[in-house]
Structure 1
């Protein structure tokens, strides 16, 4: 007798909400770790140290991008296999994704560690900030593999029907990171090194909490000895590519912004952007959380060929993203000074520059959520070309020329408009494409 999974029959709105809140809180707390680092470093070490840690963030993002690439690719196939009722393939996909990620991450960490100074200067470090970049990254690279394991496990645990534990693991990491940051920076005076140690130790303990899922009787996350399949490996990398672009482009965007602000507004501009970027990093992961909640449900329904419920899930996701985007933009416009005051040790000039810039920057959130949800949806139903195109448009194809042209023709303050312009044009292009190809979202056919 075949048992019907409750996912197939449960009302969609409560089902989506049961995944949405743990996913959003989990992603928010993961990004809060970076924000907490910035706040503690700013208050406990100084503005130059804050700029140094911000320069190091893209390298941190590279490791996260790998775990998202392989994790989302593997987890999407994993949920599709469960929807098809093929549990043995699901076990093989989990083992393959976990093993592949470890091999790739360890290789990248080795390359970064042996070329740390050269890479830091390419990413915008100066003689003033490099010591802080070096102190932070020495620790982060040493323990970076745990950060990627935590992220991959949280993705698969969410896809295995346990979003609350995925959230609990990230809550543990976040709370411990706050406590340890205070101890290492303000009590022990370890400076930027203490900030990195706090992140590393908290992540290891958070990962241990996630491992409790393996003792769950209904868990389908199992390591199997026979798992390697070249075709599956190619699919993992192909399906996970949009997630990789999201996170990898964060590194590219931060580097390009740093270079542009340095050129037009000097060191104060870079520090002002660092303040805005810490807030943006938190907000970006909240929108990623909507996609993270949508992905397991969409992939399962795609595998089970429940098309009407799948399209209804997309509509729920888009409505959620738009409301959240509009609310976020309004809050940012109404209270920019209060948000920038979190970084209290900066000068009035820098805080004022950041607050004024954030008012313009925040308009992009109205479009960001829609773009992220649509990309996640297409990725989850294996329409990789559309999902990849959306991510490339908003982060590379439209972003780079906009960043170059706006300040050149409209002045330095127009740098802040790059994000809303790139996101807005991307949303318009997606809308135009779907209007011309309505079957794109009403069928799960592969492209």
Structure 2
């Protein structure tokens, strides 16, 4: 493959995945808009308290999907179709196991989760309802992520993008219908979100009928060995999503103690905007994964370095564009979600946007670096970076800075965490054993 063809493939895969991931992130963003419009500050608070559970569900799907699809691409590059089919079959079994766990939590643990996530009497009922519906739809969320990854890695990124975007647009339409004309409240918002991955999978299922589909069920395989390999390659993707959930839980708890439900509602706006911005970099990371895994399978170090350079440059450009857009238009953006015109909420949210989103100059690069390391089977280094930014650094930094600088400290903890992680990430990248850039 010539360099111009490599660059063309890079833009083909990354652009499709960025658009698709933005679409998926809009699942919750649409809920935020319609819940804030229909149920006000209390609904927005309840939604934000429940969102971390969506991160855990989505992270499980990404772990299985990205891990399985990475292993599938490597096997495909080595012309080993049987192993590729074994990995796909193993991914489906893992999907079933994780889905059963979440459904069990939905049936018997939603009240417990709502309480532990900080819901008080004012917002408990709405938080519990949203949690239960999300958890019961978890099989659809997880399976959709698996199919998205395998379809994309099977040479069909445009269909993968179409599935994500159509699922997202359907969520927006269903949100409106269920929340307003049918007046189903927060249950309607959650139900609309749960239907979206099902619609996405209907689009993706057309790939299974095509002759160029190269993944199929395989009965004869070592399930335990394949399961551990799949989960190890996808662990960093899971931790990245888990990180978002943990950050939200910690921020919710700290902000609740500093500014009450209004503060949590304001953070809800920031957190949902953050999901959209994060999805841009996740789109880049998922887009380069098939290309990197293929180059790694063919032992083409030149292509690996080029793809890494393209991805890092793109992440910096999009981080700058996202920050400028959000800061310049922060007032009208906040007003979209502040239907009650609450001055305190608006003030907190606008200050938060200014400080919080500086993190993406570093977070975007970290997300891409983690994917790069994972795609070339450097799962250990990828996992270390993921766990650093997801728990080991963000928790003590948030607690310390919030004590010293209150809400401003909360917002600053995110960029400081990402800066420290980035330094360690570049040490891994320039190490003699990896030598990426």
Structure 1 alignment gaps of length 5 or more: 1-6
| Aligned counterparts of 1:141 and 1:425: Cα–Cα separation in 2 | 34
Q: Report the counterpart of residue 415 of structure 1 in structure 2.
A: 410
Q: Find the partner of 1:131 among 125, 129, 132.
A: 125
Give the equivalent residue in structure 2 for 1:345: 339
Per mean C-alpha deviation after superposition, the further-off stretch among 130-139 and 114-123 is 130-139
Shift of 1:439: 4.6
- Secondary structure class of the residue paired with 1:217: coil
Give the direction of change, closer, same or farther, for the CA distance of 1:288–1:227 in structure 2 (3 Å limit).
same
For residues 121 and 419 of structure 2, what CA distance do their matches in structure 1 show? 38
Match of 2:227 in 1: 233
Is 1:268 the counterpart of 2:265? The answer is no
Q: Deviations over 1:319-352 (max 9, x none)?
A: 1111111221222222221221220324022012
Which residue, out of 298, 306, 317, partners 1:312? 306
**Alpha-carbon distance in structure 1 between the residues aligned to 2:60 and 2:436:** 31
In 2, distance between residues paired with 1:200 and 1:331?
30
Name the residue aligned to 1:402.
397
Output the TM-score relative to the length of structure 2.
0.96
Q: Is the 8 A contact 2:58 2:141 kept in 1?
A: yes
Asked if the contact 2:67–2:233 (Cα under 8 Å) also holds between the matched residues in 1, the reply is yes
Report what 1:391 is aligned to.
386
Give the counterpart of 2:100 among 106, 115, 123: 106
Deviates more, 1:288-297 or 1:115-124: 115-124
Q: Distance in 1 between matches of 2:16 and 2:265?
A: 33
2:68 equivalent to 1:80: no
Q: Distance in 1 between matches of 2:363 and 2:295?
A: 25
Offset at residue 124 of structure 1 (A):
1.6
Task: Give runs of ≥4 in structure 1 deviating > 6 Å.
Answer: 7-10
* Structure 1 segment 245-324 matched on structure 2, within 5 A: 245-324=239-318
How much has 1:440 moved relative to structure 2?
Answer: 1.8
Counterpart of 2:167 in structure 1 is 173
* 1:335 and 2:339 aligned: no
Q: Deviations over 1:359-379 (max 9, x none)?
A: 011110111111111110000
Aligned partner of residue 226 in structure 1, secondary structure: coil
Pair 1:242 & 2:236 matched: yes
What's 1:182 paired with? 176
Q: Partner residue of 2:206?
A: 212
CA displacement at 1:22 relative to structure 2: 0.9
Shifted more, 86-95 versus 425-434: the winner is 425-434
Q: Helix, strand or coil: the match of 2:336?
A: coil
1:182/1:232 Cα in 2 relative to 1: closer, same or farther (>3 Å)?
Answer: same
Contact 1:371/1:427, CA 8 A, preserved across alignment: yes
Q: Does structure 1 conserve the Cα–Cα contact (< 8 Å) formed by 2:308 and 2:436?
A: no
Q: 3-state DSSP class of the match of 1:326?
A: helix
Deviates more, 1:276-285 or 1:339-348: 339-348
CA distance in 2, matches of 1:392, 1:107: 23
Contact persistence 2:289–2:372 (CA under 8 A): yes
State whether residues 337 and 352 of structure 1, in contact with CA within 8 Å, keep that contact through their aligned partners in structure 2. no
Specify the alignment match of 2:87 in structure 1: 93
> Following TM superposition, by how much is the alpha carbon of 1:95 offset from its aligned partner in structure 2, in angstroms?
0.9
The number of residues matched between the two structures is: 436
Task: Say if 2:42 and 2:261, in contact at 8 Å, map to a contact too.
Answer: no
Q: Is the 8 A contact 2:178 2:185 kept in 1?
A: yes
Cα gap change, 1:227 to 1:10, in 2 (>3 Å): farther
Task: State the Cα distance separating 1:225 from its structure 2 match.
Answer: 2.1
> Residue by residue, what CA displacement relative to the aligned partner does 1:19-66 show, whole Å, maximum 9, x if unpaired?
011100110000011100000000012210111111111112221111
Q: What residue is the counterpart of 2:157 in the other structure?
A: 163
CA distance in 1, matches of 2:303, 2:360: 27
Deviates more, 1:112-121 or 1:352-361: 112-121
Residue 49 of structure 1 pairs with residue 5 of structure 2: no
Answer yes or no: is the 8 Å Cα contact 2:374–2:382 preserved in 1: yes
Name the structure 1 match of 2:215: 221
Deviation of 1:113 (Å) = 2.5
> Structure 1 residues 202 and 108, CA, compared in 2 at 3 Å: closer, same or farther?
closer
* Alpha-carbon distance in structure 2 between the residues aligned to 1:438 and 1:335: 44
Match of 2:211, SS state, is coil
